[in-house]
Structure 1
Amino acid sequence: MSPLRTRSAERPALAPVVCRWDLDKTYLRSDFDSFRQLLRTAFERAEDKVDVPGVAELIKAIKKAAARHGRPALVYFISASPPQIGKAIRDKLALDGIAYDGIVFKDQLAHLKRGKLRNLREHVGFKLVELLRGRLDAPAEARELLFGDDWESDSLIYSLYADVLARRLDVDRLLPILRRIGVDARLVDQVVALAGKAAGPDAVDRIFINLERRTPTATFRLFGPRVVPTFNYFQTAVALGVDGHLDVEDVAAVGRTLVERSGYTARRLENSLGDLVRRGVVSVAAAAGMGAALRAAGVLSAGAPARSRWRRMRDAFRRLRRRKKTRPAPVPLAGGALDYEAILDRLRSPGREASAEGRPA
């Protein structure tokens, strides 16, 4: 079996793939550092909005690869931004040539009317409800790929969703987590009701986190290997290629777009591939196979690292990580769910980039 398809045999043949995307900081470059920036974003026209480099090409590549193999691919967006900006968002997606199957916005006005000001910034409950609703509407056998960013709590939200679907997180353990986060009581009730209906087989293959804030990758170690933080969408494409969701030509298309439109160089792409090897996201064998194919496609420079160099890079990184290690790696709790208490402790500790409450998505 090709090293680029090591996981494909684990999934049902031709099972539909559902891609769920966050919008701001994941698809769109958006600034929310001040209230003025938030207002400016709300009134931007479609042509003023800027997509994250490579993201549009990646979505198209996923669709093309799925069609090539006779596999349905569905794309959905979930945004905690208000529906009042919906037209500009839809127009932007149309300008980018993105075909999608659904988009959901958060009704912020309803929270204002009820005086629930805190709910304007608390997105965990909202997104969990929409994710679970979406799962109930999806084909039962569908596999899922989830895409978010490090600006808010996407790694937490998506992991909770994945563990609920796989029955690794039952209601008795889910409720204290939602209450600790501060999810609105109405949304807690909805999450619990939907979880009972949506729970079934393990459906989430990967969770990709765009490191828009350049959060240290070690921050995500508690989430396990299912969560893959990436510095650019070439890295995301490589991981999807190794998992069998993209062919080499699709990965090459994303890399080529970054070079031609976003100022990337072949060396930078090579370094991105090496970073995946160092972090153990991609094996040495898979990186060597992918790298050779990408060099043949003209995306990476000729004479790039041989397999022995990939291995030395990986081993050096592992030694460095062992020296810096101050505590043992987290062990999943009984039933295979993540240790969410430890995750929340880490997210809420002083100086951490992530927040369990989140920001506009």
Structure 2
Amino acid sequence: MNSNRIGFIDFLRGFALFGILAVNLPFFSKPMYLIASLGENKTLFDCIGSWIVAFFFESKFYVLFSFLFGYGFYIQLTNGPKNSTKARYFRRILGLGILGILHGIFLFIGDILLSYAILGVLLWFLRNRSIPQLLRLSLYFLVLAIICRIGMSLAEGYFKSELESRLPQLLEESRKAYLGGFWENTKQRTIDTILSIPFLVFYQWPNVLSMFCFGFAAAKGSIFSDWEKTRSGLRKFFPWMLIIGILGNGLYTLHSRHILPENIQIIWKFVFAITDTASAPALTFCYVYLLGNYFFSERSFGDKPWFESMGKLSLSIYIGESFVCTWIFCGWGLGYFDQLGSYLVLLLTPFIWIFFSIVALIWKRFFTLGPMEWALRSWTYWKMIR
């Protein structure tokens, strides 16, 4: 694998960290029961901030990270001694799962690391599949995602009525806990993390598996080793993906942010489930295509170090962003929980991301690995990595 290919993957990770932060910040800043609800926003600016997150960021960046995870899985298989590949991989998966549990309890209710660890076990058994087989599996999991979305849509009315009856109590408990001390935060976050598991399983897991397979197939095909060749192939799909991405995510925004009527016919729930599932990967495809054109051009020379440094430290920065966000909003820190609207929360995103990009640049001057990467790699290789 040449340096350009590795560099572009790190570049994509650095970009994805921005999108992940934009999606995660609302879950740090207010009770999870308010996110994307009718009562979330009070002003037009807050509504606009919520619409921007829904259209450009929601569901696109965990899809991108899942693709990169599958891509990285292939790199792990092809590097290092073959006789210890299985042991290394499952140690890495276990370490990732432990980090995910700790992250979900102490920092962020929407942790994705534990999901990656659990689903990554299945990826091991797909390692010998051919590229066409992996692509078909990716499509099958995408169909499964649509089926799960339809099921969630049909059950939405029941859960909404159950939630509305308990909402005032839940909001009061959440605000009191997150504005309290560290252990009050931890207890409430653990409860919220457990409650979010069904959502993760039915809403995210099929998409994650689809992108795992797609990323693995992409790595096997070395699609980023020759960008000029890859670009000519991707260019054929770009106009269609852009149309699907814009129209589908526009519909998703109208639907998820309650701009469309609430009481709709069942047929429309099927339409929303299909468009919601298909349009996020379509727009993600457009992001990757446009970023690839930019990265492999001379214009990106000055930006590469920022994005690539963050990409190489993506695990440390992901957890570091969670720590900073928790400090901003929880009672043991600055205590801004449920006090900032969606517009101001969105404006925080570039400032936090730029702060960590500077940290990453400085860190890479002195160290090869980030602290979390060092710990996970040392555990994976079962020896202290320098």
TM-score normalised to structure 2 length = 0.30
Q: Give 1 or 2: higher strand fraction.
A: 1
Considering Cα pairs closer than 8 Å and 6+ residues apart, tell me whether 1 or 2 has the greater RCO: 2
TM-score normalised to structure 1 length = 0.31
